[in-house]
Amino acid sequence: MDKQKLKDNIDCIMEEVGILNKLDHPNIVKYYETYDDQKYIYLVMEYIHGYQLFEMITAQENQTFTEETAAGYMKSLFQAINHCHAQNIIHRDIKPENIMITKDNGSVRLIDFGLSKASKNKQLTTVAGTPYYMAPEVLEGSYGSKADIWSLGVLLYTLVSGYLPFQGGNSHEVFRKIKEAEFHFNHPEFKEVSAECKDLISKLLVVNQKKRLTGQQALQHPWFKNFGLDKSVIVKNGEKKVVSDPISDEVLERLRQFKGVSTFKKAAMNLLVKTLNEDEVADLRAQFQAID
């Protein structure tokens, strides 16, 4: 990036770099390094061979997704946003254009942290984001991490129906509907959507932040378990019990060993992992998801 063209935006770029440097999750675009000379700033980031989720939604042949596909994407996004919130980072611009799907294995990457803010126990006041995905409290000018959860609710509604939940003839009407959480399931597409999915949407698009689900609570919702996203199911006395594959002892032992190694060795191991291809890290990714 040319410093002359960036001018006053250099500080914004470096703030985004600082945020990305705190994040390390399989479903978040990976930042590696920043290089700087007199004329340019070079950002080295993960190359995502894939396409925007927006492209999938708007494609003629993909106006809607199966619930199983939608559940897989949403589970990854909730895990990604939970990681952000654990680092006290609010994304503030969750929308289909900021979600990439890899072509090789269909995994999710949350991208574009240009509007993200680090905020610990402090309400943000700047109205930021994309209007259709903004939470009511963002429009009111006082919000926290739950604003991202609302945006994920809007995204889920769109994924399973192809419609935005809050539409209107002008911005005033759209904002009014958002502030009142005025949406419906009357579109014909919702006849094929499960009651569990609609229940989850209803618990995400809640005006009262205290009553809105957290990311962790959302992941425990029956919708995710009903669509076969967990590793195995044990049936006992006619009841289903979902059981995830246990984390291997070898992985846990490596984590214990890694905790005590030198900074130099950690850097060397980090470099080694960065040179692996997607197939080689698939098992590591699965183990991380189990831990996550």
Q: Which residues are catalytic?
A: 93
Q: Are 42 and 36 in contact (CB under 8 A)?
A: yes
Query: Which amino acid belongs to residue 5?
Result: K
Degrees (nearest 5) of the Cα angle 7, 11, 16?
Answer: 125
SS3 of residue 32 by DSSP = strand
- Per-residue buried b or exposed e for 35-74, using 16+ beta carbons within 10 Å of the residue's own CB: eeeeeebeeeeeebebebbeebbeeeeeebbebebbbbbb
CA distance readout (Å), 177 to 126, 141, 165: 20, 17, 9
CA distance readout (Å), 19 to 27, 28, 67: 15, 12, 32
